Structure 1
Amino acid sequence: MIQDRGNIKWASMMLPEHLELLREFKQEHTEQPRELTDWELEELQHTIDQAYNQQIDIKLEVWMDSKTTQWNGIIKSINFNTNELILETLIKTTRIPIQYIQSAQLEVDYYD
């Protein structure tokens, strides 16, 4: 199998000015998290409160490291001092900053 090294193979032929411009271009065109409206923030808060109070599985989309990551689990606690919620997944317990949460959806099993 052929392994492509991407831009690394061309780096030796590029001028330092070109490399600098490519780095600037990459920084300018990184995806930014979208701003949530007041209505979306209220719905997000309601969904998180319901999942926490009823101990229901929840699916969270979290913006971290210039990408969206999905987490599934049960919210064990909400720390308002550090603005984090503690999410217990099947594998581990994770601290998720509340300001990075983009969406939340309850994982309700109707067949119980």
Structure 2
Amino acid sequence: MLRDRGAIKWTSMMLPEHLTQLKQDLLDVSKMEKPSLDEQQIEEIDILVSEAIALNRELKFKLFKEGVAEDLIGTVQYLNYEQHKLHLKDHHDQTVYITMNDIIGVAYND
């Protein structure tokens, strides 16, 4: 008499290496290219950051890191022109350093 394996025969067999490669491929597909900013957008970002420093207002930054856009909310504490970095205080009262080249958008956090 022939013994059937039941539902086991329909499960796929994948090696751990295949699973890690599939996960990496899904991450690579979701990555995007860094959008380029024109002179007017750079000027607007500079004006918003300057006003936020003067008025001590909270800003919402859209950052581009490793193919993914991230949001960061914080108050600008210091603008370091030599290193092209912003020093922020986030909601957890921790200092965060942002490279100016990573910024792709800024808006007031209302």
Shift of 1:11: 5.4
The equivalent of 2:105 in structure 1 is 103
Q: 2:35: which partner in 1?
A: 34
1:28 Cα shift?
Answer: 8.9
3-state SS in 2 of match to 1:78: strand
SS in 1 for 2:42: helix
CA offsets 1:55-106 (integer angstroms, 9 cap, x no match): 1010000111211111111000011111000010011210000111000001
CA distance in 2, matches of 1:96, 1:30: 20
Provide the secondary structure at the position in 2 that maps to 1:47.
helix
| 2:30 maps to 1:53 | no
Identity %: 13
- Deviations 1:22-59 (CA, angstroms, capped at 9, x unpaired): x89x8698411100111111111111111111110100
User: Unmatched 5+ residue regions in structure 2?
Assistant: 1-12
Count of aligned pairs between the two proteins: 92
Correspondence 1:87 to 2:88: yes
Root-mean-square deviation (Å): 2.6
Which of structures 1 and 2 has the bigger CA Rg?
2
In the alignment, the residues of structure 2 paired with residue 78 and residue 71 of structure 1 have an alpha-carbon distance, to the nearest angstrom, of: 16
Taking a change above 3 Å as real, the CA distance of residues 13 and 35 of structure 1, as seen in their structure-2 partners, is closer
Name the CA distance, whole Å, in 2 between partners of 1:50 and 1:96.
18
Q: Indicate the SS of the match to 1:40.
A: helix
Q: Give the TM-score, by structure 2 length.
A: 0.70
Residues 80-89 or 99-108, more deviating: 99-108
